[in-house]
Amino acid sequence: MKKDLTIAIDGFSSGGKSTFARAIAARLGYVFIDSGAMYRAVTLWALRHGLVAGGVPDEAALVAALGDMRIELWPDGRVSLDGDDVTEAIRSLEVSEFVSRVSSIGAVREHLVALQRGMGRDGGVVMDGRDIGTVVFPDADLKIFLTADPAVRARRRYDELRAAGVDVSLADIERNIRERDHQDQTRTINPLRRAPDAVVLDNSNMTLGEQMEWVEKLIHSSGKNHKDLLNEG
Ligand code: DC
């Protein structure tokens, strides 16, 4: 009998989590949820409302506004904020620079974790982020912790941004990635950590196809019922 799993994918920034999570969701007919996009949307909201003066977020004003922000994640991967399509805007370097500060605010995390739990309540979801296997869904059926060399991640992100016509330097990207790794791992609330029951995958030298083969094997080996999900009995 088919059981709709909850799959948690955590790991460092620009490690290919979203691409991998989206591909797994497509393979299983599940919903993909990019939790990082939600932290980015809150950050963009703060920037647009002048609440990040001198690089420091105005916590009180931001927290007071959380209930009024309308963040929507669409099945086609687009993200909207108060009805405005912000899919590209949330990927800007400016948002990337402030998102760690915003995501270390406890009330912001509590608010988004509650929304994420609501989205995954019925299972059949693949959610990627930093604290999915540890905090959002500690009982997830499958937990994957994705890692890759920072230089490899910087190069991938650089290629993506250049392909999208964004003028950036590889050195700036790598610096931002290393800073975010540090901030993600050292923040006091819900730091990036591997859940003890997460399986680690280093994808530095793997294609997406190879990662999919790996996850299919993992699903095969993780339980009899899970094989049905791949429609292979
Ligand atoms: O996955 P990403 O790089 O788009 O995430 C953007 C930022 O949001 C990242 O710097 C850390 C934060 N984040 C978080 O704190 N918790 C999550 N579950 C997802 C993202």
Please report, for the chain, the start and end positions of each structural domain, with discontinuous segments joined by +. 6-227
Which residue puts its alpha carbon closest to atom 14 of ligand 1? 130
Q: What pLDDT is stored for residue 227 in this prediction?
A: 56
Q: What pLDDT is stored for residue 1 in this prediction?
A: 39
Q: Does the CB atom of residue 120 touch ligand 1 within 6 A?
A: no
Q: Are 186 and 103 in contact, with CB atoms under 8 Å apart? A: no
Q: What pLDDT is stored for residue 233 in this prediction?
A: 46
| Phi-psi category of residue 190: left, alpha or beta, with phi > 0 → left and psi -120 to 50 → alpha | left
With both helix axes pointing from N to C terminus, report the angle between 106-119 and 93-103 in degrees, rounded to the nearest 10: 100
Token couple for 14: 């620009």
What's the gap in Å between 1 CA and the centre of ligand 1?
35
Q: Does the CB atom of residue 100 touch ligand 1 within 6 A?
A: yes
- Name the pairing type of β-strands 84-85 and 79-81: antiparallel
Give the mean pLDDT of the chain.
91
Which residue puts its alpha carbon closest to atom 18 of ligand 1? 129
Q: Which tens digit of pLDDT belongs to each residue from 36-92? A: 999 999 999 999 999 988 888 899 999 999 999 999 999 888 999 999 999 999 998
Q: What pLDDT is stored for residue 223 in this prediction?
A: 66
Which CATH number does the domain 6-227 belong to among 3.40.50.12780, 3.30.465.10, 3.40.50.300, 1.10.630.10?
3.40.50.300
What's the gap in Å between 130 CA and the centre of ligand 1?
6
Average pLDDT over residues 119-137: 95
Q: Which tens digit of pLDDT belongs to each residue from 178-215? A: 998 998 899 888 889 999 999 999 999 999 999 999 99
Q: Does the CB atom of residue 40 touch ligand 1 within 6 A?
A: yes
Phi, psi at 34, each rounded to 5°: -95, 95
Token couple for 3: 């059981």
* Residue to mutate, 99, 136, 183, 192, ligand 1, most ligand atoms under 8 Å from C-beta: 99
Tokens 């003890």, residue?
196
**DSSP 3-state of 113:** helix
